[in-house]
Amino acid sequence: MPLTGIEIYKHLPKTNCKKCGFPTCLAFAMRLAQQAVELSLCPDMSEEGKAALEAASRPPIRLVSIGTSENKVEVGNEVVLFRHEKTFYHPPGLMLRLRDSEESGTIAQKVNQLQGYGVERIGMKLTLNGFAVQNVSGGGQRFASAVGLAKRADLPLVLMSPDPDAMEAALKVAAGQRPLLYAATKDNLEKMVALAKEYRCPLAIYEPAGLSELATLSEQVSKAGVEDIVLDPGVRGFADSLAALTQIRRLALRKNFRPLGYPVITFPGEAVSSPEEEALLAGQQVAKYAGIVVLDHFDPALAYPLLTVRQNIYTDPQKPIQVTPGIYPINSPKDDSPLLITTNFSLTYFSVAGEVEASGFPSWLLVADTEGLSVLTSWAAGKFDAEKITKTVRGNEVSSSLPHRTLIIPGAVATLSGELEDELSGWKILVGPRDAVDIGNYLKRTWAPMARPSAPVAR
Ligand code: SF4
């Protein structure tokens, strides 16, 4: 169990010196109990006090890094069961499995395909994270050569073999890249621990017999000197995976049960009958509560929704993703091009901007500062009303000087049009479509027949 503030206070120097930034030792102790500050902020702690409080200052789920380059994956260190309680911090690593039984040309092709894949969504580049290379052939040489092919992508690696000799052969190829070693079991524990220590790598442990057996194994690994641990409880299906991963997360966070306070690795492809089902199970595990997800199939049509789910879950619900307010020229607009206004919630902005761009109409897109809220939410919160829109139009050099003095507002706030014509005197207010997807048709129907059309650009 985590220590309470009073229990922590007993171990502090009790001088109220304020060096930690808090007015009293008790105030610092209370924040420490909430795991909101680091113990190291108090410079006057005795060694005994530090040792006693170590448990209170350690994160309940250890942060584990895989890889060393800028592409490294960091998983764990989560502090809540539900995203809305605070946020989830470290998105699960999505790894594609390669088998060393495959032809080298096939492996190289998969590596190139994944390396070249990436999609942009709401201003962020989304990709899968790396490769899990499995020793199916049984031979160390073939395994090492498959790892060599995967290593070319300079992405994080999971090395999968039950055989310590084959693992060492692969580690010599991937030395310095800090791959995750999968997996230590009761049978190979000593040798796998020795390899993890020698090559300074994180170590996964596999124990399907039950969570208490898994915890016993993780304690053995930890006592042997390897702290960067990833857990595989051996569950594979939808229901048992959800139950086991939730139980592990609850025990780590609510009971502060250290032996299960590590990220979890999953293999959704092992329990399903199609790539589509694999993507569904992977989505479930991204939500609850995988740290590394190893996929058996790569298809851009399935990867994109999975990346979207991950992005949506691993954004801070208290900080909407925003774009900078201002005016954005799309398709090289001129003075006679339409002026549309929207809010600075990223998803709204990118949906609208994408549709305007696809329409081919040179246009001006004016983005109001609504603190990252969408159109309807910001309107309901009084952050996208007639006064705000007027200020935004008048406060921008380009929009305020457009000679046509026509503003297209989102259809969802059509109710503002009358008030806006009063506030923005001399301006004509047009009500655009409710949905961004209808913008192209709207511009064709409404703007093009007017006296000041901007011809769509050639596409
Ligand atoms: Fe107390 Fe340490 Fe903070 Fe000083 S720095 S007030 S001794 S907790």
Q: Compute the distance between CA of residue 62 and CA of residue 41 in angstroms, rounded to an integer.
A: 20
Helix then strand then coil, % of the chain, to nearest 5: 45, 15, 40
Asked if residues 393 and 366 have their Cβ atoms less than 8 Å apart, the reply is yes
CA of 68 to the centre of ligand 1 (A): 36
Q: Compute the distance between CA of residue 133 and CA of residue 149 in angstroms, rounded to an integer.
A: 10
8-state DSSP, 331: S
CA of 78 to the centre of ligand 1 (A): 27
Helices (H), 189-287: 189-199, 211-223, 238-254, 275-287
CA of 334 to the centre of ligand 1 (A): 62
Residue in 6, 9, 14, 17 to alter for ligand 1 test, most ligand atoms within 8 A of Cβ: 17
CA of 98 to the centre of ligand 1 (A): 53
8-state DSSP, 258: G
Closest CA to 339 of 348, 330, 347: 330
Asked if residues 138 and 146 have their Cβ atoms less than 8 Å apart, the reply is no
Does ligand 1 lie within 6 Å of residue 19's CB atom? yes
Atom of ligand 1 nearest to the CA of 25: 1
Per-residue pLDDT of the chain (459 residues; tens, 9 = 90+): 567 889 899 999 999 999 999 999 999 999 888 777 888 889 999 988 888 887 666 788 999 999 998 899 999 999 899 998 889 999 999 999 999 999 999 999 999 999 999 998 887 899 999 999 999 999 899 999 999 999 999 999 999 999 999 999 999 999 889 999 999 999 999 999 999 999 999 999 999 999 999 999 999 999 999 999 999 999 999 999 999 999 999 999 999 899 999 999 999 999 999 999 999 999 999 999 999 999 999 999 999 999 999 999 998 888 888 899 999 999 999 999 999 999 999 989 999 999 999 999 999 999 999 999 999 999 999 999 999 999 999 999 998 999 999 999 999 999 999 999 999 999 999 999 999 999 999 999 999 887 554 545 444
CA of 12 to the centre of ligand 1 (A): 7
What pLDDT shows up at residue 173?
A: 96
Which residue's CA lies nearest to atom 1 of ligand 1?
A: 25
Atom of ligand 1 nearest to the CA of 45: 2
Does ligand 1 lie within 6 Å of residue 15's CB atom? yes
Atom of ligand 1 nearest to the CA of 13: 7
Q: Do the bridges between strand 428-431 and strand 406-409 make them parallel or antiparallel, or are there none, so unpaired? A: parallel
* CA-based R_g, the chain, Å: 28
Does ligand 1 lie within 6 Å of residue 26's CB atom? no
What pLDDT shows up at residue 57?
A: 65
Which residue's CA lies nearest to atom 2 of ligand 1?
A: 42
Asked if residues 119 and 307 have their Cβ atoms less than 8 Å apart, the reply is yes
What pLDDT shows up at residue 50?
A: 86
Strand partners, 230: 204
* CA dihedral (331, 384, 88, 33) positive or negative: positive
What pLDDT shows up at residue 135?
A: 98
Strands annotated E in 140-238: 157-160, 180-184, 203-206, 229-232
CA of 261 to the centre of ligand 1 (A): 29
Does ligand 1 lie within 6 Å of residue 44's CB atom? yes
What the block records as the tokens of 362 is 């040179």
Asked if residues 429 and 409 have their Cβ atoms less than 8 Å apart, the reply is yes
8-state DSSP, 271: G
Residues in CB range of 181: below 8 A, 6 or more apart: 159, 167, 171, 192, 195, 196, 201, 202, 203, 204
Answer left, alpha or beta for residue 242, where phi above 0 means left and psi between -120 and 50 means alpha.
alpha
Residue in 28, 40, 46, 53 to alter for ligand 1 test, most ligand atoms within 8 A of Cβ: 28
Cα 208 from chain centre: 28
Asked if residues 158 and 121 have their Cβ atoms less than 8 Å apart, the reply is no
Does ligand 1 lie within 6 Å of residue 25's CB atom? yes
Closest CA to 248 of 439, 445, 61: 61
Residue in 20, 26, 38 to alter for ligand 1 test, most ligand atoms within 8 A of Cβ: 20
Element of type H or E holding 342:
strand 339-343
The answer, yes or no, to whether the previous bond of 289 is cis (omega within 30 of 0) is yes
Does ligand 1 lie within 6 Å of residue 16's CB atom? yes
CA of 22 to the centre of ligand 1 (A): 7
Place of tokens 């039984």: 101
Across the chain, which distance is largest between two alpha carbons, in Å? 82
What the block records as the tokens of 387 is 């006064």
Which residue's CA lies nearest to atom 3 of ligand 1?
A: 20
What pLDDT shows up at residue 2?
A: 64
Which residue's CA lies nearest to atom 8 of ligand 1?
A: 25
Answer left, alpha or beta for residue 210, where phi above 0 means left and psi between -120 and 50 means alpha.
left
Does ligand 1 lie within 6 Å of residue 49's CB atom? no
Does ligand 1 lie within 6 Å of residue 42's CB atom? yes
